[in-house]
Structure formats: C-alpha cells, structure tokens
Amino acid sequence: MGSLVELLSSFGSPSLNSVLIVASVGLLAWYYLEDKVAYWSKRGVPNVPASKCIAQTLTFLAGRKTMNEIFKEQYQLLEGQKYGGTFQGLYPSILVRDPAMIKEWLVKSFSSFHDRAPEPDENVDKLAGNLFQLTGDRWRTVRHKMSPAFSSAKLKIMYETLKDCAEECNAHLEARCASKGETEIDIKDFVSNYTMDVIGACAMGIKCNAVRDPENCEMKKVVKEMFAVGWRSILFQLLEMIHPKLPELLRIVPRQPAVEQFLMTITKNAMEMKTKAGQSTRKDFLQILMNISSSESDVTRDSNEDLSVLEGGVVHEGPIFTENIIAGVVTSFLFAGLEPVSAITTFCLYELVRHPEMQERLFQEIQSARKESCGEIKYEDLKKLRYLDQVVNETFRKYPVASILARNCTENVQISGESVVVEKGVKVFISTYALHRDPTFFPDPDKFDPERFSEENVDKIIPGSYLPFGDGPRFCIAQRLALMDVKTMVITLVSGYTLHTCSKTVDHIEMDPKAFTLNPKGSVWLRLKKRI
C-alpha cells in the first residue's frame, strides 16, 4: 500500500490522483460494459437484456432454478422470433428457435459452427481431451478414429454385456421379491447402479458390482463427485461469465482434483493390466482405444459419417491417442453414459407406471418378440420392437437429457436472408428442452404420448424440432449404445415385473436444479410385482 501511495505522490496530491485513477478506470469500465450489454441492440437483433440473463444465471448458481428452465424462459421471451440475442455473463450469445435455422447451422453450415467451445488447455485440465471439448482438426481426427467403436458389429458384442448386467439386476430384484412377491425400490438409484455396471464393463472391462454391492463401489462414489455441483463448479462458471478463458488462466477446473486423479489412475492401471495380459479379444471401449493408439494408421473406418464438411478436409495424421486423450475420452464416455442414461431410463419407467395401458401393450410386444426368437430378445430383435421405440423416443422428447446444445461460431456468418452477421466467437445455444415442449411443434407437450412417433405420425415431426442427440457431424457418437442401454433395462423390468405406484411415488417429478443434465431431484420410488 505504501508503494502505491509513493507512486501517486510522485504525480502530486495522492488523494487527487487516486480520484482521477479510480474515475478513469470506472469510466473505461462503464464504456466497456455499456458496449457489451448493448451488443445486440446496436445490431437491431431482438434480445433478452444482459441484466436479466445475469440474474437468471445467478438463480441457477444459487440452486433455485435449473438451466433448462432459464433457457426455456429466454426461449419464451423471444416468442415469434427465429432467433434472439442473449448473454453468457457479459459475452453475447445467440439462442436459435427456428427448426430450419437449427438444421442449417448444425448440418449444412457445420463448418462455421464446428466447435462447442474454445480449445481447452490440457495442461490445466488433463481430462479435456475428449469429444465434448476438443476442437477443429483434433476433434475431427478423434471422432473419425472412434467411429468404428460404435459399429453394428461392436454394438452386438456390447449388447451381450448389457444383458449380463441386466440379469444381475433381475437376480437382485428376485431376491428382494422372494418373500412377498413384490418390492418397493428407489428406481433412480437402482438404474444408476445398473448403468454403472454397464459403463464399467463396456468402457474399461472392469466389474463395478454397483448393483450387488453399491456401498463399496468406489467408482460410484467418484462419479457422484464428478456430477456434484460444488464450490469449484460454481466458481468456474462465475469466472467464465467474466471471461471464457479466465478459469484456464487461474488454473481452475470444475471438479475436485481427487476425481481427476482417480480417473487418470484407474485408466492408466487398466491400460497397464491389458498391456501385460497381451492382445485381448475383449471388445471393451478402452481396449478399442488402445488398439487405435498402437496402430492408428491401420484403423478401418466402419461408419457412414461424413466429416469432410469441416473446413480443411484433411484428417490429422500421426499419433493422437495419447494417455491423456484416452483418459479424457473414457471420462466423457462415463459422463455421457451414466447420469443421462440412468435419468432417461428412470423417466421412462416412471411414465410406464403412470400409464399402465402403455406398460401392458409394451409387455405384449416383448412377449411376442420372445416367442418368435426362442424365448430371448437378441440384438437383431431390438429393431422389431416398434412400440418400445415409440415409448423411448417420447421419453427423450418429454425429458431431453441433452437439453442444451452449444456451438461456437468459428467464422463470421451472415444469417440467411438478413443483414445480421454472427461474429466469430459468439456462442450459439439451442434449447432442446424448450423445443420439445413447444406446443407449436408438439401439441399438448406435457402429455406423454408415444403415438407422436407411430408410423402414421412420425413424419409429421418438423426436422430440427426433435433433437435428443443433437444433429449434424457433432451428434452424439454413442447414440445407438445409449438407446440400447435404456431398452435393455426397460425390457428386463417390464418382462419380469408389473410396475406400480407406491405410497412414496411422487405425483410429479421435480428436476434437480444442481444437476448438469436433466435429472430427477431426490428419489423416485416405485413398486415392482413379480409376474407369474
């Protein structure tokens, strides 16, 4: 403090110069802020004022509203517009409402919106080398080389793993039903344990035993921390509001260091065990990534994806699947395959309880398929279960777990038919939660109605209005695995049990405002009665 006073004294009266400096800084800050908050108004773009956007974000950080509710509010404030300006902190962003415009930007103009965020610093966040965060050419290369991991042949192998995990669940439930023929269960927690076992087996070839022994499942404890909204994640988001690169400069990551350390260590240990064991015939995700890493140039593309729309058109050459990249990709697989999948399965089962006639129709369809397939549902039989498709698709419509899609504008883009230019660096948001609940596209949106996806009605859905897994080259690469995961559990439970409400079943599922994805708040209790 003394040195500051001495510095000011060298220019004359400390008090006068202090006032001048503070006034100058304040004036510059005022001009800066005024320019920021007036960004969209100056361009004649309808917008949600920055003050409201900041206030809404603070209610989310305080745990009073979900981010889905906030984006839905902004979506409704921009009613009648194809798009509108919003703010992420003080930085301008744009919320797109028009399905045709969404389709154009995610697919046709993908080369101008191919990133989700600026390139992360992997020296700060060792798990940042994943498909969510990678940008440009590196994302494109990783995506290209990972695509074979989700081919039909690989999924068929993974389906056997899913069935094994589902049978473990069935054995657990049968034991609980042994005395009375029924049991009450927190289906949210139960399904979460199932998805933990599935991801552990499919991702790294490890047995988590979350269904059998949830209290001693170390992976479950770490994943719970990974999804928790604590002071680190709140601080991270506050710093991002000030400047998108500020968390990185201050070396702040949105998770506990112990979580990163555990995930890095368990991935490294699993890789070492696989290396010592020699070439494995097991087709878990980590083994596939290790095979790619050891022979990247020999990977055969087994996919219909066309990633040439990304400007440059050349896939990154040379080794890219480093230990950090593999750990990052496995972590993103955990993040996308655990809470979102368990949540959508929970929502689906809850709706079937609320609609017993749908549950019975689904049971009859499954039984019919079993009879045609010698008593079991094989991988090839899944596509024959048309009503199951309708039920699951409607669940994704009403409860889109990928409820907010984000893209980064990577070059100046003039909006088609208008003079407005979306500048490079502007964040683009699409609220699938708001779209899926817009009566313009889905009449009576709060009603759970699988008939929206019947053969007679599915073609009536406007392209760009239904986006459960995103769209374009950056759509969810594990879409088919996620659907298979959900369907396997639904088939297992509906086949073996009738699902009912119990005294602890809520009339309406409240969403958790602290969850990163659309997720029920608290427990979801159901009663399962063994079928005879």
Q: Is the pLDDT of residue 44 over 90?
A: yes
Q: What is the rounded CA–CA span in Å between residue 73 and residue 48?
A: 10
Same fold, 18-112+403-467 and 120-383+477-531: no
pLDDT digits (tens, 9 = 90+) for 207-217: 899 999 988 88
Binding residues for heme: 476
Q: Is the pLDDT of residue 41 over 80?
A: yes
What's domain 120-383+477-531's architecture?
A: Orthogonal Bundle (1.10)
Assigned token pair, 361: 């129709």
Say if residues 167 and 201 touch (Cβ distance below 8 Å): no
Q: Is the pLDDT of residue 297 over 50?
A: no
Q: Is the pLDDT of residue 76 over 90?
A: yes
pLDDT digits (tens, 9 = 90+) for 162-189: 999 999 999 999 999 999 999 999 999 9
Handedness of CA 55, 56, 58, 63 (dihedral sign): positive
pLDDT digits (tens, 9 = 90+) for 215-241: 888 888 877 777 776 777 778 877 777
316 DSSP assignment: P
Q: According to the model, what pLDDT value does residue 204 have?
A: 86
Q: What is the rounded CA–CA span in Å between residue 71 and residue 346?
A: 23
Q: Is the pLDDT of residue 23 over 60?
A: no
Say if residues 377 and 370 touch (Cβ distance below 8 Å): yes
420 DSSP assignment: -
Mean pLDDT of 354-373: 96
Most confident residue range from 114-118, 131-135, 182-186, 332-336:
182-186
Say if residues 515 and 339 touch (Cβ distance below 8 Å): yes
| pLDDT above 70 coverage of the chain, percent | 87
If pLDDT is split at 50, 70 and 90, which confidence band does 296 have? low
Q: What is the rounded CA–CA span in Å between residue 224 and residue 153?
A: 32
Quote the mean pLDDT of the chain.
86
409 DSSP assignment: -
What residues does each domain of the chain span?
A: 18-112+403-467, 120-383+477-531
Handedness of CA 213, 219, 224, 230 (dihedral sign): positive
Q: According to the model, what pLDDT value does residue 488 have?
A: 98
> pLDDT: is 27 or 210 the higher one?
210
Q: Is the pLDDT of residue 344 over 90?
A: yes
Q: What is the rounded CA–CA span in Å between residue 59 and residue 92?
A: 19
At position 493, the amino acid (one-letter code) is L
Burial 126-156 (b: 16+ CB within 10 A, else e): bbbbbbbbbbebebbbbbbbbbbbbbeebbe
CB burial class (10 A; 0-12, 13-18, 19+) of residue 64? exposed
Pseudo-torsion of CA 376, 381, 386, 389, nearest 10°?
A: 90
Say if residues 292 and 320 touch (Cβ distance below 8 Å): no
- Report the top-level CATH class of 18-112+403-467: alpha beta
pTM: 0.88
Mean pLDDT of 60-88: 92
Rg (CA), the chain: 25
CA distance to 130, 207, 336, 406, 408, per residue, from 113 (Å): 18, 39, 22, 9, 6
Q: What is the rounded CA–CA span in Å between residue 143 and residue 325?
A: 12
User: How remote is the C-alpha of 498 from its chain's centroid?
Assistant: 30
Identify which of 222, 210, 164, 199 has the alpha carbon closest to the alpha carbon of residue 284.
Answer: 199
Q: What is the rounded CA–CA span in Å between residue 204 and residue 269?
A: 10
Identify which of 361, 426, 401, 331 has the alpha carbon closest to the alpha carbon of residue 115.
Answer: 426
